[in-house]
Structure 1
């Protein structure tokens, strides 16, 4: 097959390509990708282009043997926050638990106070630095949760910042409403009343603003119960909003099975996921999002049941869980290494988790996460010898160029 259509906007030639279609490397040696109208129009071997009788593109990029992989899809972040919680890191090093810190007014409550005090502009400026770093490390799609406002005004403020980030930066932003992240201080001892506030005031306000793609809940003994989560999921579903869940992180509550009943996009964390919960996720097509950064930072010992998830063919995504308290991780390649070393994933499974399965966790796998014709032209040129290098090497950035929506938006010299 030769190139016979009108010239593309840009073509990348002489690259080794791992398409990650169907979650496998699917390597094309000496490959080429033709891009037009922000989409991948053609992908194949470079020699198929050499017989073309006319110009093949307005711009030709000779990749000189570099690797092209799909851009990272970071499907779980809490990227917008103010303040620092490094003091809590020191507390944990001295033996304090997650619950101990929360009971002393730390944890999520500390960040809520900082976010409520910060202006929208300040939050935007802080988050912009994080977004710039994400792009420079190969992330082309990111989910951003609210959840540090815990009232309608400040939750909307966070989601407005997420929207501004989407307008300002080239990567795709998928905003999630996480009003049920923790109990705000003014509702101490009145969890059901706060759930009523979310259902009756916050969710309709979020829906009317149209600035959230999904609704998340933290279902755990230190957060919200199964019964409260079911009420929240029912209200969100009635409004036509997809749901996802922080599930089974600190205990087996059965929340993953509940999420499956609501056809959740994903269940995230899952260290204490039961076999029954995994089976329910498999039956409902729910993606498992593994967050090894939090596992590492909290010195957990209970691993997610990776073998069960593989056997049941539950897609496994990886994400940074970037947040100020339990996963201050800013790099998807580091997460891939953790997924391999801590959870026993293969390098191929880790890359699938950071690309196509991350897209599945956001409901975006028809557009993103793999290199296939018709999909968004979001990919990264890497100075590596093999895809496994991304999981193997640590502390070095091998990004050469980042392409988002068919445009080179970053190269090794900086943002374009």
Structure 2
């Protein structure tokens, strides 16, 4: 006799399964929107795992026991937990004092020259006690959870020296263990050269490769990232660093084509990078090259709130990326400088407005494709038997309302691993 369900959501107006596409690579092309929606459906869980998903007329009532928690989802949407695939979770302080300076016309370079910008955050982060950083990370994770994020990538990158960068990764892991949102750490020591290495980016990367990467366990910190951009690291220096990271067993990521089209995305895809992030200046032709080089396995993580917050006009051409065969994910890029926002729903909405994504494509980009972008596709991102029971109950009856109600948080209930949180 089959075991009774532990949790059952029933009578949902729509169940957004995100299932039905390929299982061996991210959603590409038309598959971004060609996933199954079940009208008047249910999702059943057994412990921390999804046990069954389907229309109500296929529900096995014999598996509803006296201890089954039954939730009536009438008139509402059920969907997978959101996957936040690009954040800079752990940092000291904030840069609210610079916001008005930006509004008054000071450029980022002017602020940087006066000791602000990323250097300000580096100073505050280096000076912060580990417990202070941990409490800040836990505070932010609580905010992410309220938006329905159930899995989150956390980059280092605001220490820019060996000791602090290792501390940031340690804090991210501690924060992941102390609350329900699952945290996937990424090493971004190569954010920009540390202030002690001003004008010597290759020397800084050599220090990271020699002194930090060997101390990291790819099982605990699965990805190494680098910012390939003018003023940060060149394509050639980035290639050599990523090659060394790959030799040590790490998955690869890159910040590239944010401000200039340097070719970093294609270089990283040729090395087998799991994602290329930002991509505002990646052309549709370049996107097709990235897709071909990776056979559709490298995900373009687009960050629409960054140009919005920085008051820039250039947004990644997401519509053309999809048409070029490049899988697309979306993220906030939560950080203290260019996107102090945890609202992934707003990122989804801006992607529809400014990048040309349809509602169904954008939903795939914050769930299944985002899971692929951080190597979590076997665990989360869709509602399918055997996956972790990460679910959201939304206060709307139709998925098309999700990008429509601008800036609103539709989340009514969050389930992570079969538990309400």
The TM-score, its normalising length taken from structure 1, stands at 0.93
Structure 1 contact 8–56 (Cα < 8 Å) conserved: no
1:5 Cα shift?
Answer: 2.2
- SS of the residue 1:392 aligns to: coil
- For residue 286 of structure 2, what is the aligned residue in structure 1? 277
Structure 2 contact 319–357 (Cα < 8 Å) conserved: no
Q: 2: distance between equivalents of 1:353 and 1:385? A: 21
- SS of the residue 2:403 aligns to: helix
- SS of the residue 2:365 aligns to: helix
Match of 1:102 among 112, 115, 122: 112
- For residue 127 of structure 1, what is the aligned residue in structure 2? 137
1:168 Cα shift?
Answer: 0.7
1:89 Cα shift?
Answer: 2.1
Q: 2: distance between equivalents of 1:92 and 1:141? A: 32
Residues 168-216 of structure 1: CA distance to partner in whole angstroms, max 9, x if unpaired?
11111110000000111111122221111011111111238x5311000
Q: Which runs of 4 or more aligned residues in structure 1 lie more than 6 Å from their structure 2 counterparts after TM superposition?
A: none
- For residue 414 of structure 1, what is the aligned residue in structure 2? none
- SS of the residue 2:389 aligns to: coil
Cα RMSD, aligned residues only: 1.8
Q: 1: distance between equivalents of 2:409 and 2:236? A: 45
Matched, 1:148 2:158: yes
Structure 2 contact 317–356 (Cα < 8 Å) conserved: no
Q: 1: distance between equivalents of 2:354 and 2:63? A: 52
Residues 60-92 of structure 1: CA distance to partner in whole angstroms, max 9, x if unpaired?
222233211111101000111111212322222
Structure 2 contact 197–203 (Cα < 8 Å) conserved: yes
- For residue 195 of structure 1, what is the aligned residue in structure 2? 205
Matched, 1:67 2:77: yes
Matched, 1:28 2:38: yes
- For residue 357 of structure 1, what is the aligned residue in structure 2? 369
Matched, 1:9 2:6: yes
Q: Return closer, same or farther for 1:50/1:362 CA change in 2, 3 Å cut-off.
A: closer
Q: 1: distance between equivalents of 2:149 and 2:387? A: 16
- SS of the residue 1:294 aligns to: helix
Q: Return closer, same or farther for 1:112/1:26 CA change in 2, 3 Å cut-off.
A: same
- For residue 264 of structure 2, what is the aligned residue in structure 1? 255
- For residue 182 of structure 2, what is the aligned residue in structure 1? 172
1:390 Cα shift?
Answer: 2.1
Q: 1: distance between equivalents of 2:282 and 2:261? A: 6
Which residues of 2 match residues 81-92 of structure 1 at below 5 A?
81-92=91-102
1:346 Cα shift?
Answer: 1.2
Q: 1: distance between equivalents of 2:66 and 2:238? A: 54
- For residue 349 of structure 2, what is the aligned residue in structure 1? 337
Q: 1: distance between equivalents of 2:184 and 2:144? A: 14
User: How many correspondences in the alignment?
Assistant: 405
Q: 1: distance between equivalents of 2:46 and 2:92? A: 39
Residues 143-171 of structure 1: CA distance to partner in whole angstroms, max 9, x if unpaired?
00000011121111111111111111111
Q: 1: distance between equivalents of 2:60 and 2:369? A: 34
- SS of the residue 1:207 aligns to: coil
Structure 1 contact 152–205 (Cα < 8 Å) conserved: no
Residues 192-242 of structure 1: CA distance to partner in whole angstroms, max 9, x if unpaired?
21111011111111238x531100000000111111101110110000000
Structure 2 contact 331–344 (Cα < 8 Å) conserved: yes
- For residue 387 of structure 2, what is the aligned residue in structure 1? 375
Structure 1 contact 9–57 (Cα < 8 Å) conserved: yes
Which residues of 2 match residues 218-229 of structure 1 at below 5 A?
218-229=227-238
Q: Gaps (5+ residues) in structure 1?
A: 410-416
- For residue 275 of structure 2, what is the aligned residue in structure 1? 266
Structure 1 contact 39–377 (Cα < 8 Å) conserved: yes
Match of 1:402 among 388, 409, 414: 414
Match of 2:402 among 382, 390, 402: 390
Match of 2:250 among 220, 241, 244: 241
Q: Gaps (5+ residues) in structure 2?
A: 22-31
Q: 2: distance between equivalents of 1:73 and 1:314? A: 19
Residues 275-294 of structure 1: CA distance to partner in whole angstroms, max 9, x if unpaired?
44312321202101110111
Q: Return closer, same or farther for 1:396/1:312 CA change in 2, 3 Å cut-off.
A: closer
1:12 Cα shift?
Answer: 1.4
